[in-house]
Amino acid sequence: MKPMRCGLIGAMAVAACVLSSGRHSAWAAEPPAKVALTGARVIPVVGPELDGATILIERGKITAVGTDVKVPFDAMEVDCRGKVIMPGLIEPQSWRGLDIANESLPVAPFLDVGDAMDPSRLYFEDALRDGITSIHVMQGNNTVIAGMSRVVRPIGLTPDEMTVDLGTAIKLSVSPRNGYDRMQQMATFRETFRELEEYTDSIAEAKYEESLEKEKKKVDVGPAEAAKRGRPMLKDSDYDDKHLNLLRLKRGDFDTWVYVGSPMDVSPAIALATEQGFLDHTILLIGDDTFKAIGELKKAGRPVVLPEDLFYRERDPISGEITETFIPKKIHDAGLMFALQPNPNSSMAERYLTYQAALCVRNGIPRQTALEAITLNPATMLGMGDRLGSIEAGKVANLVIYNGDPLDFNSWVENVYIDGILAYDRKDDPRLAEILRLEDVGRKVDEAKKAAEEAAKKKDEEKAAPKEGDAAPKPAEGDNAKPAEGGSEKPAESGRARPRRGDGQ
Amino acid sequence: MNPLRLLPLLLAAVLLCVVSPVTRADGPTFAIRAGRIMPVAPDMDWVIEDGVILIVDGKIAAVGPGSSIDIPMDVPVTHLPDATITPGFVAASSDLVGSHSGDESIGPGYRAVDSFNVYGDFRPVLSGGVTTVHLSPGWHRLVSGQGGVVRLAGPAASRVLRDSSDLTITLGESVFNPPNIVEFLTKPSPDNAIEPARRQRPASRIDQYLALREAIADAVTPRQRGAAYNYQSEILGRLWADKHAVRVQAQKAGDIVGAIGFLASNGRSGYLVGGFEASKVADDLRSSGVPLVYTIDTAFHSPAGDVGSDPGSLVPDVDDLSALEGVRLALAMDNGGSVADLRLAAAMARRSGLSERTVLEAITRIPAELLGVGDRVGSIEPGHDADLLVLTGNPLDTTTHVQRVYVGGRSAFQMPTRHSLVVRGGTIWLGPDNWLTDGSVLIEDGRIVSVGKRVPVPMDAQVVDAGPDAFIAPGLIDGLGHLGLEGDSGALGPDLSLAPLYGVTEVAEQRVAAAGVTTVLAAPYRFHSRGSQITAVKTAGNTREQRVINATAAVAFDVRGNDPQSIEGALKQPLDAGKKYLEKWEKYEKDLAEWEKKKAEGKLEPVAKPEVVEEPEKKPEEDPITGTWSVRASGGPIPEPVDGKVALNLTGNQIEGRLTDPPEATELEHRITGTLNGKKVAGTVEINAPVDLPAPPFWEGEIIETDHIKGTAGLRGMIQVDIDMRRIDKESTQFKVTRTKRRTTGEDGRPLPPTVDDALEPIRSLLTGKIPAVVSAGSAAEIEAVLAVLSDQYKIEHIVFLGADDARLAIDKIKAGKAGVVLPTSVMRTEKRKPYLQGDDLRRNGIAVAFQSNAEDGARSLPTVGLYAVERGMSAEDVLEAMTIGAARMYRIDDRVGSIEPGKDGDLVIYSGHPFDAASRVERVFINGQEVSP
C-alpha cells in the first residue's frame, strides 16, 4: 500500500498535475488502507497530550490513538519521532474561496457558495500550508440574509470534490450592509420574515383551494381561514427557493451564523433569533467591540466566532486615553465557547491560526481552551464535532504534523493528512521554496556545482564510459521523489537541493 | 480574642449587607444637598435654595428645601453648595442616528431606535447637559418612519425609553421627488416580468398631501385578494389604526399651515417640529393648539449658510420667536447642529423676549411631555428618574458649565477637574481704593489668573457665586505671630528657619485660616543676638511648598531694654560678619562676570595649578573623640565586614579626621568632618573623588559607652552600612597632613562660589535689600539708635519696627529711615495719660503700619483687632490695607500675597459684608485656590 502523493493544490500544481500524470484523480481515489504514524507527541485536544504515541489510520479514519497501539503488519508505518501531531485546524468561516464575498441582493438565501467557489484560489493552498484541513466557506458580512455555506477541504479540483458538507449554514448580518443603515437593515429583516408569513398564507390558501377543487367542492371559508387550513397541507416543494430556505432557517434545518459587528447589534440579533425561533441554531460572529455587550452574549449563551483582530483599542473621548482590550479573555471569562479566525489582512503572524491561539495563551487563556478554539470548537459549531476537531478513534484522519509545538512560533507544518491522505509535504512545496528562496538558492548553488563537476568529468572521461544521466539524482536524494517513503523522511534542510517532482519522469 | 465576642460584630455586618441600600441592584440610593435646585415642575417653587433631592434606587423619592426633608441615616449625602441642579435636558429633535437609507417615500417601517447605539459613549453630548434625546428617522421622506426616545447613559437595556414614540411625517422640498424603486426579481419569467423602476410621489407641494392621504387610505383598507403584499403599507395601516402620535416636520409657513390642516382634518393630535417660519403663521398655530418644537439654527461651529437674494429662501432667526406667545413651545437643535449645544442655543432664544422660565421649560418639561416621557424625565419630581445636571450657575448663563450629569442616579459624566476656581461677588476689594463691583476672580493652579467684571470661566472650573452682598478681600496677614511653635520659647539662631514646622494644616492653624487670616509672619518668641529668621507662612495647605511663602522673610533683632549706647555694638557684630561674607560673594559675582565676559571673547588664560599649602593640625586635648579608632563596617552591600582605622581630632564640638587604614584609603585625598552633639556624632566625608558623588558620604553614630561608637555611614538614599568604632589610642595622631587649599577656581578657571554660611545668608539677603530687618524696639531712643546703625551706617532700606511703642516721639526719624511699624497688640496707647490710636497716628504721618497677633493660633482674633481699631477711629480702608498689602509690602512678599491681582496667590476671603462691619462674618476662605473647611 503506497499513499498517493500530491503536493499542492493551486493553479500551478493543478496545471503540473494535469500535464504530467493525471494525478489529480488522487482525491477521488481511495485513501490508503492502513497508515500508522508512530513516535510523535500527539495533541489530541480531547484528553492529555501523549508522548511517543501511535495514530492508526484505516481508510481515512482514525482507528486507534495511544502509546500502546500496536502497528499492524500490513500498515504503512510513518516514523514521526520528534514531531508533534495535532488535529487539522478548522477555519470557522471565510469567504476567500469565493470570487466575490457577496451578491448585490440583500436577501438571497437561495444562493449556494458552491457556485462561486474557485478551487484554484491561492487561499486554499495557503490554508493547507498552514495546517487548515477544513474551511467553512461562507459569504461575507456585507449582506442581510446570504446564501448557503459549505464545509470544504483545501484539496480537490472542483467545488464538489472539495466539499465535505453541503448546506451547512446561512449567514445573517445584523450590522448594516454597504449602503444600508441599521434602520433599513432591521426593517429588511422584519419585512422578510413578515413577507414569508404572507407568502405562506397565500400558498396555503391556494393549496386549500386546490384540495377542495380535487374534491370538486367550492371554497367555503374566507381567505384567512383557508390559509389556516391550508398550512398543514404544505410541503417543502410548494415553496419557491427563496422562501424555502427561509422556512428551513426558521425550522432549524441548518444553523444560522449571525454577524453582530457592534455591541448594539447583539440585542436585536438575539431578539430576531428568538422571535423567529432559530436562537438554538445560532452562532454569533462578533465584531471588534461587540464584547461590550458581554452581558447579553452571556445570557444568550451561544457560541461565538471572534473577530480577526483580537485586540480592541479605544480612545476615551474626554480624557484622550487609549484603552486596550483582549477580546478572547472577555469571551472566555463569560464562559462562552469561541472559535478563532486567522487575520488574512495582517502581514504579521496574525494570519496563522496557531499564532492567534498562542496569543490567547499569552494573554491568560488556558492552552487547552486556545487549542479547542482552532479545532474542536469550530467543528462543534459546524455540527461536525463528532467527525472533526480532535484525534480520537472514529474521527476523520485530518492531521497536522509540526516539527515542534504548534503554538511555538518557531514551529512549522511538516505534513498535512486529510482523510488519511498525505495532502501536504513541506519538502514538496515549490511555492514555499520560492517564497522563502531557500530551495531556490540551494538549487542554483547545487546546479553550479554539478555543472562544474560534470565539466570536470567530461574532461576526464571524454573517451571513457557513457556519462551519467544528467537528471538522475543521487540515490539518497532520490528517495525524496519516491512516493512510497514520502511520509517517513526527515525534515528538509534549507539550502539542500532536491530534484523537483517530475524531473525524472 | 474570644470568638463569641466577635459574634455581634459579625451579625451587624450581615445585617448591614442586608439592609444597605448600596447593595440594591436597581440603582443607587443617595441624597444631593445643593445650593439651588430648579425642579421645573409645575406645582413646585421655581428655585429651591439649599434644597435636597433624595434618590432611591435611581429614582427621585423626594425633593424640597433642606429643612423639610429627612435624609435617612444610612443614605450618603453629596454636598454641592455652589451648584445649581436642574433636570437633564430633553432634546425633542436630533439627528443623532442620521436618516435611514431606504428609498420608500412611505417608509413607516423604519424605526430610528434601530440605529441607536445603546452601548455608545455619549459623554460629549452629556457634557452639554442633554440626557434624553428624540431620534428622528430623517427629514428626507414623506413618511419618514418611527421616531424613538432614548437616554444617553445607563445600562444598555435601560437606554431606550420609547422604541416608537411617533409616526414621523415630513413636509417640504426635502421629500419631493424621492428615488424610483427598483424591484429585484430572482427568477424573472413570462409570468413574472421585470418591470421598469417604480416612480414615487410626491413630486410637488400640493402632491404631498394627496400622496399622504392616498397612502393612508390604502393602508387602512384591507388588502384585495391577489394584490401584492406591501410591508410599509401594512405598518402604516397599523400605526394609523392605533392612533399613534403624529410628528410633522415642517419648516416653511405653507407646510406648517398644511400640517395643522392635515392633523385637524384627520382628527389626529400631534406636534410640529422645525418651524423656521412659524412666526409668520403664529395665529394659526395658536388657534390650532398644536405644540411646536422649534429647531434652532446655530452657527456655533461654522458660519451660517449663504442664502443669497432668493426671497423664497429660509432665513431662520431665533429672534422671531417673540410672535409665538401662547404656543406650547419646545426648543431643539436644527439638523446639523450639535445636540450638546442645546443649552446655549436655548439661552439665545431669550433674545426674542422669552422668559427664563419658558426657555428652561422648553428644553426640559415640555419636550418630555411631547415625547410621551413626561412621567419619567423633564422635571425633578418624586417618582421621576434621577436624571440631573450639576451646573456651576444659572442654567442659561453663557459662562455656566455642566459639572456632573446623573442619569438614573448614576454619574454619567464628570467634568475633569483642573483646579480652577471662579469666585464671584458683589464687591471685590482688589487693593487700597480699588474696589470692583459685581466682578469675579479666576484662580488656576492656586494663582490668580484673571480679575474683572467678566473673567474667563473654564469648562471645568468650580464656580463660587458669593452673591451681591458679599465682600471679597485678600486674606489677612498677621504682621508677627508664632504659629506652630507650641510654646517653644527658645531663641533660634540666624541659621534656622521656622519653615520645617509647616506641612499639612493642623487644627490650630486651620482655626486661624478659617478666621480669614491666611498669612502669618512667623517668628520665634525670642530673637537671637545674632539675629533670628522670620518665616512667611500660609495658614493652610497640604505641603510645605504650598505653605511657606518665604522661609527667610526677614531678620529680626531685639534691642528692647538695651542701653542705647550698646545697641550699635550689638547690631554691628552680626552685620559686619555679614558684610564680609557679602563682599566675598560680590567678589565672586564680579569675577564670574569677568570670566564669562572673557570666555565669550575667547580670551581665557590657561589655569594655574591650584596651590597646595601645608596646614599643621592643632593638637587637641584629651576628649571622648580624639584618638585612633578601629572601624568595622558591615551590612548593606558589603558581603563581609571590612576593618579599618580612623584618626579623629576634636576641636570644640567639631570633629576632623582621616582614615589611616587600610592603606589604599589613605591614598585617596579625603577629610572626615563632623560635630559632636552630646553623645551623638554626625558628619560627612569629603573626598576629592575621581567620580561625581551625588552628595558627600555621611556618617553618624552615638557614643554608646566610653570609647565605643555605633552608627551608620554611606550615601544618603543609596548605600548604608553599619559602623562599629572602638578607640584604641587616645593620643591625638600627629599625622602630617597636606590639605589642598580650597579651590577658588574650577578646572576651566571659572570662579567658584564661596562656601555658603547658613548663619550669614539671612544677613546677606538683608544687606542686599531682599528682605527687611525687623527690630523689636520700644523707646524713642532705641528707635533712633537702631536707625542710626541700620539706615545711616549700613544703608539698609527696609526696616520694620516691632512694637515701636514710642514711635510717636520719633516720627521724623522713622519717616526719614522709610521704616514701617508693626503695631503693638494693643492698638490704643497713652501719652501723658491721654489715650491715642497709634496706628492712625502713624498712618496720618505717612508711616506704613501692620498689625500683629504676637500669638500662635490666637492670630484668629486679628480681624477683631482691626474691627476695634476701626471703632476707635482708624479708617476701615487703612486697617484693611495694613492687614493685607501693607504688611505684604513691609515684608516684601507683596509679589505673592496682599492684594487680588493676576499673578498673585489665590488667597481670598468672602465676608458677608465689609470685614470691619461688626455684623459681617467670614463666609468662606480660600488659600492657594483651595477652600479652607470652616
Using an 8 Å CB-CB cutoff, list chain A residues near B225.
223
Check B117 against A194: CB less than 8 A apart. Answer: no
Residue of chain A minimizing CA distance to B226: A202
Q: Is A186 near chain B, with CB under 8 Å? A: yes
CA distance A49 to A86: 10
DSSP character for A413?
E
Residues of chain A with Cβ-Cβ distance to B120 below 8 Å are: 264
CATH number of the domain at B660, please. Answer: 2.40.128.120
Verify that B460 and B532 share a domain, yes or no. Answer: no
Q: Is residue A274 in a domain?
A: yes
Q: Is position B862 within any domain?
A: yes
CATH number for the domain that contains residue B494: 3.20.20.140
Interchain proximity B114–A319, CB inside 8 Å = no
* Average pLDDT over every residue of B340-358: 90
Can you tell me the mean pLDDT for B235-246?
94
Calpha distance B594→B600 (Å, rounded)? 10
B619 has a pLDDT exceeding 70 = no
| pLDDT > 70 fraction of chain B, expressed in percent and rounded | 92
What is the distance in angstroms between the Cα of A184 and the nearest Cα belonging to chain B?
6
Residues B362, B234 share a domain: yes
In a domain, B593, yes or no: no
Residue closest to B839 by CA, chosen among A246, B303, B829? B829
- Within a domain: A356: yes
Q: Assess contact for B853 and B481: CB atoms under 8 A.
A: yes
Question: Residue B860 domain-assigned?
Answer: yes
DSSP 8-state code for residue B454: S
B859 and B874 co-located in one domain? yes
Neighboring chain B residues of A318 at a CB cutoff of 8 Å: 123-124, 127, 413, 416
Cα atoms found within 13 Å of the Cα of residue B639, Cβ hemisphere only? 0
The answer to whether A194 contacts B121, with C-beta atoms less than 8 Å apart, is no
Cβ of residue A193 closer than 8 Å to a chain B Cβ: no
In chain B, % of residues over pLDDT 90: 51
Interface residue A110 vs chain B (CB under 8 A) = yes
Contact of A182 with chain B, judged by CB distance below 8 Å, is answered with: yes
Question: Which SS3 state, helix, strand or coil, does residue A201 take?
Answer: helix
Cβ–Cβ gap B117/A264 under 8 Å: yes
B628 falls within a domain:
yes
Q: CB B209: neighbour CB atoms within 10 A?
A: 18
pLDDT band at residue B850 under the 50/70/90 scheme: very high
Q: Is the pLDDT score of B553 beyond 70?
A: yes
Residue B125 sits in the same domain as residue B39: no
Min CA distance, A109 vs chain B (Å)?
11
Amino acid at B807: A
Put simply, the answer to whether B109 touches A293 (Cβ < 8 Å) is no
The reply to whether B389 and B373 lie within a common domain is no
* More confident: A363 or B8: A363
Question: Residue A74: helix, strand or coil by DSSP?
Answer: coil
* Helices B205-220 and B231-241: angle between axes, nearest 10 degrees: 80
Distance, CA of B665 to CA of A68 (rounded, Å): 73
Write out chain B residues lying below 8 Å of A199, CB-based: 229
Q: What's the pLDDT band for B689 if we cut at 50, 70, 90?
A: low
**Are the CB atoms for B279 and B323 separated by under 8 Å?**
yes
Best of B95, B117, B118 to mutate (most A CBs within 10 Å, chain A): B118
Averaged pLDDT, B350-366 = 92
Compare all CA atoms of chain B with the CA of A242 and give the residue at the minimum distance: B186
What pLDDT is stored for residue A16 in this prediction? 39
Distance from the B185 Cα atom to the nearest Cα atom in chain A, whole angstroms: 10
Return the number of CB contacts < 8 Å for A and B.
91
> What confidence score (pLDDT) does residue A20 get?
38
Interface check for A112 against chain B (CB to CB < 8 A): the answer is no
Let me know whether B511 and B441 are in one domain: no
For residue B747, tell me if it sits in a domain.
no
Alpha helices in B479-554 (DSSP H): 507-514, 544-547
Q: Does position A90 have pLDDT exceeding 80, yes or no?
A: yes
- Taking the Cβ of residue A198 and every Cβ of chain B, the question of whether any pair is shorter than 8 Å is answered with yes
Which band of pLDDT confidence, cut at 50, 70 and 90, is reported for residue B226?
confident
B773-777 sheet: strands from edge to edge: B476-481, B517-522, B532-538, B548-558, B773-777, B799-803, B820-822, B849-850
Q: Do B187 and A240 touch (CB under 8 A)?
A: yes
pLDDT given for residue B573 in this prediction: 86
Is the Cβ pair B101, A184 closer than 8 Å? yes
Please tell me the distance in Å from A186's CA to the nearest CA on chain B.
Answer: 7
Instruction: Measure in Å the smallest separation between the Cα of A32 and chain B Cα atoms.
Output: 45
Best to test chain B binding among A142, A145, A183, A267 (most B CBs inside 10 Å): A183
Q: Give the model's confidence band at A443: pLDDT under 50 very low, under 70 low, under 90 confident, else very high.
A: low
Are B400 and B371 within one domain? no
- The per-residue pLDDT of chain A, averaged, comes to 85
Q: How far is A201 from chain B (nearest CA, A)?
A: 11
In the structure grid, which three cell numbers stand for residue B395, read together?
442654567
pLDDT of amino acid A472: 42
Is A354 within 8 Å of A374 (Cβ atoms)?
yes
Check CB contact under 8 Å for B416 and A318. Answer: yes
Contact A105 B184 (CB under 8 A): yes
C-alpha cell at A304: 461565538
What digits encode the pLDDT tens for the residues A7-33? 333 444 434 333 333 333 444 456 678
Convert the pLDDT of each residue in A388-431 to its tens digit. 999 999 999 999 999 999 999 889 999 999 999 999 998 888 88
pLDDT at position B638, please? 78
Average pLDDT over residues A226-245: 92
Instruction: Say yes or no: B173 and B294 in one domain.
Output: yes
Instruction: Please give the pLDDT value at position A490.
Output: 42
Q: Does A180 reach chain B within 8 Å, measured CB to CB?
A: yes
| CB proximity A181 to B under 8 Å | yes
Whether omega for the bond prior to residue B662 falls within 30 degrees of 0, making it cis, is: yes
Q: Which amino acid is at B66?
A: G
B202 preceded by a cis bond (ω within 30 of 0): yes
Q: Does A160 touch chain B (CB under 8 A)?
A: no
Number of domains in chain A: 1
Closest Cβ–Cβ partner in B112, B229, B413 for A183? B112
Instruction: Name residues 154-173 of chain B within 8 A of A (Cβ).
Output: 156-157
Cβ contact A265:A290 at 8 Å: yes
Which tops the pLDDT comparison, B416 or A203? A203
Kindly state whether A183 is in contact with chain B, defined as any CB-CB distance less than 8 angstroms.
Answer: yes
β-strand partners of B522:
B481, B535
Of B107, B115, B124, the CB nearest to A182: B115
Task: Give mean pLDDT, residues A48-72.
Answer: 94
* Per-residue pLDDT, A489: 40
Residue A441 lies in a domain: no
At B14, is the pLDDT very low, low, confident or very high (cuts 50, 70, 90)?
Answer: very low
Give residue A227's domain range: 182-372
Give the per-residue pLDDT at A7.
Answer: 38
List helix spans (H) across B169-230: 205-220
Chain A partners within 8 Å of B102 (Cβ): 183-184, 187
More confident residue, B193 or B535: B535
Which residue spans within B156-245 are E strands per DSSP? 160-170
Collect all residues with Cβ–Cβ distance below 8 Å to A40 and sequence separation of at least 6. Answer: A52, A53, A55, A80, A81, A82, A83, A84, A85, A401
Q: Are residues B399 and B542 in the same domain?
A: no
- Whether A179 has its CB under 8 Å from any CB of chain B: the answer is yes
Cell of B20: 444597605
Partner-chain residue, chosen from B101, B232, B416, that has the shortest CB–CB distance to A181: B101
Tell me, yes or no, whether B248 and B357 share the same domain: yes
CATH number at residue B52: 2.30.40.10
CB contact under 8 A, A190 and B416: no
Asked whether residue B795 falls in the same domain as residue B650, the answer is no
Domain total in chain B: 5
- Model confidence band, residue B613 (pLDDT cutoffs 50, 70, 90): low
Nearest to A319 among B137, B231, B416 (CB): B416
In a domain, A336, yes or no: yes
Q: Residue B394: which of B321, B463, B460 has the closest Cα?
A: B463
Q: Is 70 exceeded by the pLDDT of residue B733?
A: no
Instruction: Give the gap in angstroms from C-alpha A488 to the nearest C-alpha of chain B.
Output: 54
DSSP A247-300: HHHHHTSSEEEEEE-SHHHHHHHHHHHHHTT-GGGEEEEE-TTGGGGHHHHHHH
> What pLDDT is recorded for position B529?
85
CA distance B925 to A87: 74
B8 within some domain: no
For the segment A446-455, the average pLDDT, to the nearest whole number, is 78
Instruction: Choose the closest CB to B121 out of A105, A184, A317.
Output: A317
User: Chain B within 8 Å of A240 (Cβ-Cβ)?
Assistant: yes
- Domain shared by B388 and B268, yes or no: no
Q: Is A21 on the interface with B (CB under 8 A)?
A: no
Nearest-Cα distance to chain B for A305, in Å, is: 20
Highest-scoring range by mean pLDDT, A194-208, B695-709, B710-724: A194-208
Instruction: Out of B380-389, B460-469, B591-600, give the one with best mean pLDDT.
Output: B380-389
> Which is more confidently placed, A469 or B907?
B907
The CA distance from B226 to the nearest CA of chain A, in Å, is: 9
What does the block give as the cell for A424? Answer: 501536504
Is B127 touching A (CB cutoff 8 A)?
Answer: yes
A108 Cβ under 8 Å from any chain B Cβ: yes
- CB-CB neighbors (< 8 A) of A269 in chain B: none
Using a CB–CB cutoff of 8 Å, tell me whether B187 touches chain A: yes
Domain end among B321, B349, B377: B377
DSSP string for residues in B564-610: HHHHHHHHHHHHHHHHHHHHHHHHHHHHHHHHHHHHHHT-PPPPPPP
What's residue B609's pLDDT?
Answer: 61
In angstroms, the separation between the Cα of residue A204 and the nearest Cα of chain B is: 13
Three cell numbers written together for A200? 405562506
CB A149 within 8 A of CB A137: yes
Checking A318-323 for CB contacts under 8 A at 24+ apart, the result is: A318/B123, A318/B124, A318/B127, A318/B413, A318/B416, A319/B416
- Cβ B299 vs Cβ B261: under 8 Å: no
pLDDT band at B29 (very low <50, low <70, confident <90, very high): very high
Q: Which of B612, B155, B152, B169 is nearest to B387 (CA)?
A: B152
Do A267 and B186 lie within an 8 Å CB cutoff?
A: no
Asked if residues B804 and B839 have their Cβ atoms less than 8 Å apart, the reply is no
**Residue-number span of the structural domain to which B455 is assigned:** 418-474+898-934
CB-based burial label for A264 (10 Å; 0-12, 13-18, 19+): buried
